[in-house]
Amino acid sequence: IVVVDEQFQVVLFNPTAEAIFGCGAAQAIGAGVERFIPQRLREAARQHMAGFCAGGSSVIRMGDHAEIFGLRANGEEFPLEISLSRITHSGKPLYSAVLNDISARRRDEARLNALANYDPLTSLPNRALFHQRLQRSLVHAQRFNEGLAVLFIDLDRFKNVNDTLGHDAG
């Protein structure tokens, strides 16, 4: 959890935030929240935060969660899931961000995508990915009234190569 004030200065940085960002609470508190946003995304973040603060609701969620990128103290960008809320403390508005590092989830999704769409032996696209890309190409060709060609190559007796020399040679 990271809580910021109206000037987007960090006022609370819990131990999990310390672990996620690789930065101690003593270093984070009082710093601008932009310190934890990649440089290339800071302007968009400023605009979003200004709009979020202008909303005025006591609890605001971006959907339920949104996915953004954070910046660790060592300069590494990483994916985050975020849920924002507006809270009031001593009559002043504060903004609470509940953050979850989703790096492992993204790695798992990429691995599952690779397993589903690529041959594990050759790393070549498999039949499922071919059908997906062919369908997309057919829709594109039809939409823009373009031609499309599919070339099918069959190697006779290729099974003999795999059977005699093995899959690595094949």
Given the structure tokens 């849920």, which residue do they identify?
83
Q: Count of CB atoms within 10 A of residue 81's CB?
A: 15
Per-residue pLDDT tens digits for 73-124: 999 999 999 988 888 889 898 999 999 999 999 999 999 999 999 998 888 9
On the 0-12 / 13-18 / 19+ scale of CB atoms within 10 A, 42 is: middle
Distance of CA 37 to the CA centre of its chain: 14
pLDDT digits (tens, 9 = 90+) for 124-137: 999 999 999 999 99
Query: Model confidence over 36-69: pLDDT tens digits?
Result: 999 999 998 888 888 777 765 544 444 467 889 9
Cα(44)–Cα(75) distance, integer angstroms:
19
Q: Is the pTM of this model over 0.85?
A: no
Give one DSSP letter per residue of 60-81, joined into a string.
--SSS-EEEEEE-TTS-EEEEE
Residue whose C-alpha is closest to residue 80's, from 59, 61, 105: 105
